[in-house]
Chains A and B, each alone.
Chain A
C-alpha cells in the first residue's frame, strides 16, 4: 500500500482521498479496547459461537479447529464472552496482559 499511515499535510492526497481500494485491512481498529477476550482452550468445545457472533469478524479458525481473536481488529465488546456456551472466554484488561 502506498498510502502513508501518518502523512504530513503536504503528503496527504488531495481532499484526503484514498487513491486505492482495499486499504481498510491496513487500518487496525483494535487499538481502542480496554478489555480483551482470552480463550481457555481446555474448556473450548470448538462450537464457533464466538466466530459467528463477533460483529468485527475478528475470530479466526486455526489448524486445530480452535477460534482465536485477532487483537488487531477486536474492539473488546465482549459479546463472544457472553455468548460462549462453555463460558471459556474471559475478558481481561489489555494492559495486564
Chain B
C-alpha cells in the first residue's frame, strides 16, 4: 500500500470529524484519499476545502474548539504559509493532528525531501515525532490522536515523514481491522468547548500580566506530554506488539562512532552500520524520533558510551552551527559528565540521494576526529561538488 494512503486510512480509523486541508506536493495523496472517503460515505466527516494552508489550519482550530476530532496535512511552503496559525494551535491547546510530508523549503524551488520544513517550526509548541517507514507513519498517526487529546496534554501533534521517500513509496503495511483498534483512541472531550450556550473567550489577548504565565503553562504541558507519550507507546506495544521509543538505537552498546539522524535515513544508516561492522569497525546508529518534547535523558543514555557522535543534518542553519539537529544534540549533551564530542555534517538536501559512500564518509568524519581531535569544517556538506 502507498504510505500516503495508509496515513489517510489511519485518519479514517481514528474516526475524524473534520479534515481541513489544502493540497500540496508531496502530501496531496493523503487528503485526496480522505476527500474520496468522505465523498463515498466511507468516512462521516466534513471535508473543508480551503483556499490556502493559512485557512486550513485556522479552520482546523475552529473545528477543534467545539470538540471535533480534526486532521490536516501539509508540506514545506504549505507549512510556511500556515506558520502563524501553527503557533496558535499549540497556544490555544487544540489537539489537531497534522501529517507533515517533509519537503525542502524554497528556494531554489524544490518539491523534494529534506527536513527544512519541520526545522522551521521547531519552537511552535507542538508534539513532534518522526516516522521512518510506512508502518511507523500509520502507527504514529493513530497514536497522535490519543496523545494530543489526552486531558493531560491537549496539544496538537505533528508526525514527520519523508516526502516521496515515504509518501509515494508502496510497501507492505499492516493495517488494523477497525475492530482491532476499537477502544485504543478514547472519545475526545475538551475541558472548554466553544458552545453558544456557554459563551467564553478563546485565544484572548495575552496582556503583559498573563502572557508569561500562559507560556509557562504551555511549556509545562509539552514537557508533561512525555509521560503520556510513553504510556501510549507502551499500550500500543501491549496491544499490537510494535515498540516505539523516544530515541531509537542500533548497535550502540559498544560503538565508538555513532551516527545520529532523523526520519527514513535511520533505516539506511543501519545498513551502513552492518557494512562497517563487517569490516570490524565499531559503529552504531541512533535516531531522535521524539523531536518535541526533547528527550534529554534518553539521548544522553543512548550516547553515553560513544567516543564521538556524528550528526547527519538534513537542513541548513545558514550562518549557524551546521544544522539544527546537530546544535540541539550538542547542547543536549553539554550538561553530561564526560559528554562525548558531537560533530556533524549535512546531506540529502532537497531529495539528493544519500548513498552508501556518503554514510561511510560520515563515519570517517568521526574516525578522523578521534585521530586528530580536529572538528570538521563548519559547515560540512557530504556529497557537495567542490
Contact residues in B for A10 (Cβ distance below 8 Å)? 217
Within 8 Å by CB of A16, from B154, B191, B214, lies B214
In the complex, what distance in Å separates the CA atom of A8 from the CA atom of B203? Answer: 18
Tell whether B206 is near chain A: CB-to-CB under 8 Å: yes
Using CB atoms, name the residue of chain B closest to A13. Answer: B192
Within 8 Å by CB of A14, from B154, B209, B212, lies B154
Tell whether B93 is near chain A: CB-to-CB under 8 Å: yes
Tell whether A9 is near chain B: CB-to-CB under 8 Å: yes
Give the dominant DSSP class at A's interface.
Answer: loop
**Are A5's CB and B209's CB within 8 A?**
yes
In the complex, what distance in Å separates the CA atom of A7 from the CA atom of B220? Answer: 16
Question: Which of B115-123, B130-138, B194-202 has 4 or more CB atoms under 8 Å from chain A?
Answer: B194-202
**Are B213's CB and A9's CB within 8 A?**
yes
In the complex, what distance in Å separates the CA atom of A20 from the CA atom of B200? Answer: 5
Per-residue 0/1 for B205-227: is the Cβ within 8 Å of any A Cβ (1 yes, 0 no)? Answer: 01001101110111010000000
Could you tell me which residues of chain A, from 1 to 56, have a CB within 8 Å of some CB in chain B? 5-10, 12-21, 23
**Are A18's CB and B213's CB within 8 A?**
no
User: Closest CB-CB distance, A10 to chain B, in whole Å?
Assistant: 8
Interface size on A, residues (CB 8 A): 17
In the complex, what distance in Å separates the CA atom of A19 from the CA atom of B210? Answer: 15
User: Closest CB-CB distance, A31 to chain B, in whole Å?
Assistant: 11
Using CB atoms, name the residue of chain B closest to A29. Answer: B207
User: Closest CB-CB distance, B379 to chain A, in whole Å?
Assistant: 39
Give the dominant DSSP class at B's interface.
Answer: loop
**Are A9's CB and B216's CB within 8 A?**
yes
In the complex, what distance in Å separates the CA atom of A31 from the CA atom of B47? Answer: 47
**Are A23's CB and B201's CB within 8 A?**
yes
User: Closest CB-CB distance, B88 to chain A, in whole Å?
Assistant: 10
**Are B91's CB and A18's CB within 8 A?**
no
Using CB atoms, name the residue of chain A closest to B154. Answer: A14
Most B C-beta atoms less than 10 A away, residue of A8, A13, A16, A21: A16
User: Closest CB-CB distance, A56 to chain B, in whole Å?
Assistant: 16
Contact residues in A for B212 (Cβ distance below 8 Å)? 9
User: Closest CB-CB distance, B245 to chain A, in whole Å?
Assistant: 29
**Are B200's CB and A16's CB within 8 A?**
no
Contact residues in B for A18 (Cβ distance below 8 Å)? 200-201, 204
In the complex, what distance in Å separates the CA atom of A5 from the CA atom of B167? Answer: 49
**Are A17's CB and B216's CB within 8 A?**
no
Using CB atoms, name the residue of chain A closest to B91. Answer: A15
**Are B202's CB and A17's CB within 8 A?**
yes
**Are B199's CB and A14's CB within 8 A?**
no
In the complex, what distance in Å separates the CA atom of A18 from the CA atom of B200? Answer: 6
**Are A12's CB and B214's CB within 8 A?**
yes
**Are B192's CB and A16's CB within 8 A?**
no
**Are B192's CB and A19's CB within 8 A?**
yes
Using CB atoms, name the residue of chain B closest to A27. Answer: B207
Within 8 Å by CB of B199, from A9, A13, A16, A21, lies A21
Tell whether B92 is near chain A: CB-to-CB under 8 Å: yes
**Are A9's CB and B217's CB within 8 A?**
yes
Contact residues in A for B91 (Cβ distance below 8 Å)? 15-16
**Are A15's CB and B199's CB within 8 A?**
no
User: Closest CB-CB distance, B93 to chain A, in whole Å?
Assistant: 4
Contact (A14, B192) CB under 8 Å given A21-B199, A23-B201: yes
A-B CB proximity, top 10 nearest: A18-B201, A9-B213, A15-B93, A9-B216, A21-B199, A16-B214, A19-B200, A9-B217, A17-B192, A12-B213
Please list the residues of chain A having a beta carbon within 8 angstroms of any beta carbon in chain B. 5-10, 12-21, 23
Please list the residues of chain B having a beta carbon within 8 angstroms of any beta carbon in chain A. 91-93, 154, 191-192, 199-204, 206, 209-210, 212-214, 216-218, 220
21 A–B contacts from the bound complex (CB under 8 Å) = A5-B209, A7-B210, A9-B212, A9-B217, A12-B213, A12-B217, A14-B93, A14-B192, A15-B93, A15-B154, A15-B202, A16-B204, A16-B214, A16-B217, A17-B192, A17-B201, A17-B202, A17-B204, A18-B201, A20-B199, A21-B201
Additional A-B contact list (6), CB under 8 Å, known A8-B213, A9-B220: A12-B213, A12-B214, A14-B217, A15-B93, A21-B201, A23-B201
